[in-house]
Amino acid sequence: MKTREQVLKEIDERIALWFKDLWLETPLIQYLGWTKHQFNLFDQKEIIPNEYWELNEIKKPDPWIVCAANKHKKSHLIICGARHWDSLMRGQVEAMGKYDYNDWDTGFVDQFGEYYDREEAWVVAERNNQIVRRVGGDNGYLYSENLY
């Protein structure tokens, strides 16, 4: 079992690894003055490892879908917004430079930042009674409109 210090170090490392070389040459990154030496490869995992809950003797809460998310197919970078491809999401992608919207999968994230595709998110939302309305074609695939 990992010590508390090891778990906290792992959390810090995961947060630092959010950015991948793919994004370092974008206008936003250049504007911020970040360099390639500040980041390593991005490995999308839960931000708070399961050991955190055990070490602190806390029952990890069940996942709860909190917002729409898109995940880049190659880099696995995740962007979030109230709805898929709303102005917030488009702004994030445009700030990175020129990217093809077809290079992204659509899904959702929970309160821990874990990404779920539309099918996985449907299961979580249904289990939590988060689905307040049905929309045409949802049949096991979650849409933002199902949540509000």
Average pLDDT over residues 93-103: 83
Domain boundary among the residues 60, 75, 95 is at: 60
Structure tokens at 124: 């979580």
Q: Are strands 115-117 and 78-81 parallel, antiparallel or unpaired?
A: unpaired
Nearest to 24, CA basis, from 11, 13, 14, 38: 38
- Tally of structural domains, the chain: 2
Please tell me whether residues 74 and 42 are part of one structural domain.
no
Please tell me whether residues 48 and 68 are part of one structural domain.
no
Please tell me whether residues 76 and 125 are part of one structural domain.
yes
Please tell me whether residues 48 and 107 are part of one structural domain.
no
- CB contact at 8 A, 110 and 64: yes
Please tell me whether residues 38 and 109 are part of one structural domain.
no
Is pLDDT at 142 greater than 90 in this prediction? yes
Domain boundary among the residues 60, 75, 97 is at: 60
Q: Which domain holds residue 34?
A: 1-60
Please tell me whether residues 47 and 65 are part of one structural domain.
no
Going edge to edge, which strands form the sheet with 115-117?
78-81, 65-72, 104-110, 115-117
pLDDT in tens, 43-64: 444 456 677 778 888 888 899 9
Rounded to the nearest integer, the mean pLDDT of the chain is 79
- CB contact at 8 A, 89 and 80: yes
106 pLDDT band, cuts 50/70/90, is very high
Q: Does residue 27 sit in helix, strand or coil?
A: helix
pLDDT in tens, 6-52: 877 776 666 555 544 444 555 555 555 544 444 433 344 445 667 77
3 pLDDT band, cuts 50/70/90, is confident
Domain boundary among the residues 16, 43, 60 is at: 60
Q: Which of 24-28, 52-56, 83-87, 106-110 has the lowest mean pLDDT?
A: 24-28
